[in-house]
Amino acid sequence: MSIHRTHGIVLRTRKFRESSKIIVFFTRRYGKISAIAKGSLKPKSKFGSSLDLFARSSIIFYKKENRDLHTLSHSETLNANKEIAKDVVKLAYASAASEMVERLVPSEEQNETLYELLDAVLKQISVAERNQLELILASYALKMLYAVGYGPELAVCVRCGKDLGNEVWFGMHSGGALCSACHNQDLHAVEMSRATLELMRKFKSISLARLRETHSADEFSRDASDILYAFVRAQISEGAKIRSLDFLERMRDSSFA
Ligand SMILES: [Zn+2]
């Protein structure tokens, strides 16, 4: 058994037996881990609010070799991200952001870029206006794809390497933008406007904080998020679902958000 210290963001929790919880964290040093927090559901638990959904906490856990479930011994809140839980729409966006990570990455693989990105998206969702949330999540989805090695080619045609003209497609199977000569070679290519391509390039190059501060929600086209969420889904194993993203899209399309 070995002892480990790191910072972690709470992706998901579930009740375990009478008084405990199992927490899925995304940690800075160890990537995605699961740990049991014994007694965490008892009143006056030593863990306090540090295990609430989307909290970022400083944690200590014991790791048994060849086990997937570790034991949490200490956890202290660094940032509770409390604004998220107060707004059902923000909660839906934050849930989609964290579930995408959970589905895309294997357990216990360090990815500090992804940790920083998850931390950043939760902060931005906390402070954003509702009409900025779609912009933030779509940009985050693209940045996340690059962080895990599935980032799409957006500079040139992913098949022939030539410059993209005014007519552009996005190849779900090819993994990026396609020119007019190549789009027929990908059965899952969808047409997109030049403006959508430019927006995706911006999503790649500008930080989430800067994007939220400098871009009005009016500039946003739904096409970019539809394509990027579909591309995220194309990377997870067949048949697996990102339930909170499905929920978010239904909620958004019912014009509630
Ligand atoms: Zn081409």
138 CA → ligand 1 middle, Å? 25
The model's pLDDT over 172-207, given as tens digits with 9 standing for 90+, comes to: 999 999 999 999 999 999 999 999 999 999 999 999
163 CA → ligand 1 middle, Å? 8
At 64, the pLDDT band (50, 70, 90 cuts) reads confident
231 CA → ligand 1 middle, Å? 19
Axis-axis angle for helices 222-235, 88-104 (nearest 10): 40
Distance CA 13, CA 25 (A): 9
Average pLDDT on 19-38 reads 97
15: β partners: 21
At 252, the pLDDT band (50, 70, 90 cuts) reads confident
The model's pLDDT over 140-151, given as tens digits with 9 standing for 90+, comes to: 999 999 999 999
Distance CA 2, CA 213 (A): 44
Per-residue confidence (pLDDT) for residue 214, from 0 to 100: 86
12 CA → ligand 1 middle, Å? 41
125 CA → ligand 1 middle, Å? 37
Provide the 10 A C-beta neighbour count for residue 227: 23
Whether residue 257 has pLDDT greater than 80: no
227 CA → ligand 1 middle, Å? 19
Average pLDDT on 203-214 reads 93
- Percentage of residues of the chain with pLDDT beyond 90: 87
At 256, the pLDDT band (50, 70, 90 cuts) reads low
172 CA → ligand 1 middle, Å? 14
Per-residue confidence (pLDDT) for residue 171, from 0 to 100: 97
Three-state SS across the chain? CEEEEEEEEEEEEEEECCCEEEEEEEECCCEEEEEEECCCCCCCCCCCCCCCCCCEEEEEEEECCCCCEEEEEEEEEEECCHHHHCCHHHHHHHHHHHHHHHHHCCECCCCHHHHHHHHHHHHHHHHCCHHHHHHHHHHHHHHHHHHCCCCCECCCCCCCCCCCCCCEEEECCCCEEECCCCHHHCCCEEEECHHHHHHHHHHHHCCHHHHHHHCCHHHCCHHHHHHHHHHHHHHCCCCCCCHHHHHHHHHHHCCCC
Give 237's contacts (C-beta < 8 A, 6+ positions apart). Answer: none
Per-residue confidence (pLDDT) for residue 6, from 0 to 100: 98
**Are 61 and 70 spatial neighbours (Cβ–Cβ below 8 Å)?**
yes
For 88-98, b/e burial (b = at least 16 CB within 10 A) is ebbbbbbbbbb
For the chain, list the domains and their CATH numbers. 2-80 (2.40.50.140), 85-253 (1.20.1440.120)
Q: Is 178 exposed, middle or buried (0-12, 13-18, 19+ CB in 10 A)?
A: buried
234 CA → ligand 1 middle, Å? 21
Torsion of the alpha carbons at 144, 146, 149 and 153, rounded to the nearest 10? 140
183 CA → ligand 1 middle, Å? 7
